[in-house]
Structure 1
Amino acid sequence: MLNLFSRYISVGVINTAMHWVCFGALLHFFEATQAVANVSAFFIAVTFSFFANARWTFKSQATSGRYIAFVAFMGIMAGMTGYIADAIGASPILTLLAFSGFSLVAGFIYSKFIVFRDAK
């Protein structure tokens, strides 16, 4: 299980970097709004994360149903984190850190026991 979680963390580090780079590039080079840049970067990063975790972490088949389940869960988690942060007036950096930690653990559990439950 530790090896599996280590692989999941590795994919998470890469997808976080992808999200930040895409976000910055969309803002800087394409003059996108923060909302458009963040949603676009989220979908790029979460798509990479799904396929990398399916193949490398869980050694499982990537299907459209699994993709939808993964993206929906991660998107709902991101939205709820932002909603709660706005409601309590949390600083953006605290929100980012809280979401990163929570999504790492909750995303792994959800992936392992729901999305890729048949993986060996």
Structure 2
Amino acid sequence: MRILWKGFSAQTAIGLAGTLIHWQLFFVLIGAVQATQSASNFVAFCIAAATSFYMNALYTFETGTSVLAYLGFMGVMGVLSYGTGVVGDARSLPALATVSMFSLLNLLLGYCFFRFVLFRRNQS
């Protein structure tokens, strides 16, 4: 059980910073650029995720990962971010509801993906 929580606090701090970046970009794209929720959520996710990935690689997990694993993460979560935005657009949800829903999914799935796929440690 201890191995599950190792690095959780550092990843949480980096995740909160990434979420702040995501939300700021999302609302700038929605408000100033008049982009759709789906496009705004996707672009904001990509920029925030790249930042979080870099910071986690440097400070949290202290181990490398493959380009293929990183691209897999970006692909899966990118589709999820775009899909969440499509639902928000189709249902005319408030932008806050869309970005909140995706942030919750990203928190849960992103941690598992980072911890057990991207930066898994060899257990000896």
Q: Which one-letter code corresponds to 1:17 in the other structure?
A: L
Q: Provide the TM-score with structure 2 as the length reference.
A: 0.71
| Structure with greater helix percent | 1
Please give the per-residue CA displacement for 1:14-60, whole angstroms capped at 9, x wherever unaligned.
112223445567789xx755357655443321111111122322222
Between 99-108 and 7-16, the greater mean CA deviation after superposition: 7-16
Q: How does 1:1-120 map to 2 (within 5 A)?
A: 1-22=4-25, 32=33, 34=35, 39-118=42-121
Q: Aligned partners of 1:119, 1:54: CA distance in 2, in Å?
A: 16
- AA partner of residue 49 (structure 1): S
Contact 1:69 1:115 survives alignment (8 Å): no
Query: How large is the Cα RMSD of the aligned pairs?
Result: 2.9
Instruction: Note the residue ranges of structure 2 that are not aligned, 5 or more in a row.
Output: none
SS of the residue 1:34 aligns to: coil
Query: TM-score under structure 1 normalisation?
Result: 0.73
Gaps of 5+ in 1: none
Q: How many residues align?
A: 118
CA gap of 1:58–1:16, structure 2 versus 1, over 3 A, is same
Report the Cα distance in structure 2 between the residues aligned to 1:37 and 1:85, rounded to whole angstroms: 11
Q: What is the one-letter code of the residue matched to 2:52?
A: S
Identity %: 30
